[in-house]
Amino acid sequence: MARANLGVLKGFKYYAPLNNTGFASPQPFFVASGYGTAIYPGDPLASVNDGTVAVTAAGTGAGSHAICSSIRQATVAGEVKRHGLKYLPASTTYSTGGESIVMGIPVQGNLFECVVTGTNASIAVARSAKFNNADHLLGTADTGLGLSGAAIDMSTAATTATLQWRIHRWMEELPSNDSTQENWIVLVYANVLNAVGGLPAVLGV
């Protein structure tokens, strides 16, 4: 009997530059006052036309600009906090000087590791997903640990150009990363970009 995958944490995590083109230094991004969705490290972020960012909606066609890496500051219970914030609570309001600011690693040119939901009938089936595209889902975050619930939804994997992420490869073929068990890990890069230059979304193979 196969062993379940252990030590799995959801959310997108920076892995390495893609073909030495990536820029991995986290950048600051403002979040609108009163924004109604909590933001966790590991959440994909999209730009908004007011100069802020929001969590990238799950689903075909919604591109990402960055992956949240940490929370820089937020006003909590009337106090501006700059340290120890595990996540940005939903509907956090502020006035000038106490803005909600998250740090994010740009998706353009970078590889990220991410948990996959769903299992495969065999390792061969999992290998065949390489170079295909898939959407993400947001799942349920862990407020206690401050962990994103984002994951790659392998049930969406296809050659469709508008799917959000390109599957670069299976992270490692190890007993602790068994693609026939739930929560295996792949390396992905953004197939649909948001508010950045670069190549357009492309078909999987």
Confidence at 1, pLDDT banded by 50, 70, 90:
very low
Write down the H helix ranges in 84-122. Answer: none
Q: Are 6 and 112 in contact (CB under 8 A)?
A: no
For residues 32 and 3, the model is more confident at 32
Q: What share of the chain is helix, strand, coil (3-state, %, to 5)?
A: 5, 35, 60
* Average pLDDT score over residue span 127-131: 82
The predicted-structure confidence for 21-40, as pLDDT tens digits, reads as follows: 666 789 999 999 999 999 99
Confidence at 7, pLDDT banded by 50, 70, 90:
low
The predicted-structure confidence for 163-198, as pLDDT tens digits, reads as follows: 999 999 876 666 666 777 777 889 999 999 998 877
* Average pLDDT score over residue span 111-121: 86
Calculated CA dihedral for residues 97, 99, 102, 107, nearest 10 degrees: -100
Residue 63: both structure tokens together: 């591109």
Q: Are 74 and 108 in contact (CB under 8 A)?
A: no
pTM over 0.85: yes
Provide φ and ψ at 126, rounded to 5°. Answer: -65, -45
